[in-house]
Amino acid sequence: MAPNILITGVTGFIGGTLLQRLLETDLFPRSNIWVAVRSEAHEDRLRALQVNIARVSLDDAEDVRKIVLGNKIDIVVHTAGALKFSLVESLLNALGARKAVTKRPVHLIQTSGASTFADKCGWTFGPGRESDDLYTREVEIRDSFLLHETNIRIIETGEALGVLVYLVLPPLVCKSNKTQGNWYTLLKSSLEQGGKGTGTGNTATFIFSSMIQTALAQKKVYYFPEKSHWPVVHVVDLANYYILLLKAILANSAPGPTPAAWPSEEFASDATGLSTEYCQIAFNSTTAVISERGHQLGWKPEWDYAEWLRDFGGMEVDPILESDVQSKDTVKALGNL
């Protein structure tokens, strides 16, 4: 049975397109889909879609809690703002309360933004990669831009409450087949291709709307002469990304920031082929040692921990498996210890 899902920001560009795409799939019955709106006018727009509508202000933590608990919400997709932590905090606290009742996993997909990695927002670490320790890097620069502080607090609050958090950091969202460019070329491309989302609310990004209004008021199109570039994602492609993430969550295969803990010592032993005792020694023990005589001899390690990690991270799996022809026999012998 599919869980219940709540989507915020469905009258916006991203949220509206996501809702429309979700309704085109069979991931969730419409009876399991809830949308959060702020006004009666928003309700009227969405009623024809035959989804459940909850009129609520995300600033009202108690109302949010009642909606999540009362409607048994296990998954929230938040697309209604990246900067204001209080809006996400109410959702996190409500999901935490839901988990306390059911003892089952709960999930929050937070729509953040690629300005996390913008040079003028304090980011100095080059291209942002999911394989990097982005949390630690954001902690280093948390005071340089509000989005960093919000991202950090979402991660920390989710961890404290036991809520599984997924931060999606989309670049500039529009309807354009260009993958990057400056603001002028991206706006031109988006307008030429229609520039619309597929939802029932806003069908264009507010950034382009602002640029058009400014150009009309000034009777001239301005741009900054610096060679700035932003990556771009088509709004439908972004919605499809969310759909795939939701599929992975439902299949219990969504990627996480840390490896999964072994369910039990016996499970680990069976999976590795090692005895329970040796498995604990190899993978779940702590060893502390201080070398004094080595330094007296003038020994100085050339490899520190960071260098070791870099070298280890560059290793390919297949050559390691192929090089040790005795590995299976070794594991078999250790399994009998």
How far apart, in Å, are the Cα atoms of 173 and each of 15, 138, 168, 279?
12, 23, 12, 48
Give the CA distances from residue 9 to residues 14, 37, 40, 201, in Å, rounded to whole numbers and listed in that order. 8, 7, 15, 9
| The predicted structure's pLDDT at residue 240 | 93
The sign of the dihedral angle between the CA atoms of 319, 323, 325, 326 is negative
Measure the CA–CA gap between 184 and 224, rounded to whole angstroms.
10
Query: What is the residue extent of each domain of the chain?
Result: 4-250, 265-335
Pick from 142, 63, 74, 69: nearest CA to 109:
74
- Nearest 5°: the CA angle 197, 147, 129 is 80
Q: Shortest CA distance to 9 belongs to which of 67, 56, 60? A: 56
Query: Which tokens go with 19?
Result: 């809702």
* Residue 195 φ/ψ region, left for φ over 0, alpha for ψ in the -120 to 50 degree band, beta for the rest: left
DSSP 123: -
Q: How many CB atoms lie within 10 A of CB 178?
A: 16
Determine the Cα–Cα distance for residues 148 and 137; give it in Å rounded to an integer: 10
Both structure tokens of 98: 């839901």
Q: Encoding tokens for residue 126?
A: 């080059």
Residue 179: per-residue pLDDT: 46
Distance CA 28, CA 39 (A): 25
The answer, as to whether pTM is greater than 0.85, is no
CB 10 within 8 A of CB 199: yes
| pLDDT tens for the chain, residues 1 to 337 | 889 999 999 998 899 999 999 999 999 999 999 999 998 888 988 999 999 999 999 999 999 999 999 999 999 999 999 999 999 999 999 999 999 999 999 999 999 988 898 888 999 988 888 878 889 999 999 999 999 999 999 999 999 999 999 999 988 776 544 444 444 454 554 444 444 445 555 555 556 566 677 777 878 777 666 767 777 788 888 999 999 999 999 998 887 766 556 767 887 888 777 788 877 877 787 766 667 777 777 777 776 666 666 665 555 555 555 555 445 555 555 455 5
What homologous superfamily does CATH list for 4-250?
NAD(P)-binding Rossmann-like Domain (3.40.50.720)
Q: Which of 285, 160, 183, 279 is nearest to 232 (CA)?
A: 183
Cα 169 to Cα 82: distance, rounded to the nearest angstrom: 9
Contacts of 21 (CB under 8 A, 6+ apart): 198, 236, 239, 240, 242, 243
Q: Please tell me the predicted confidence (pLDDT) of residue 178.
A: 47
Q: What is the pLDDT of residue 326?
A: 47
What are residue 165's phi and psi, to 5 degrees? -110, 135
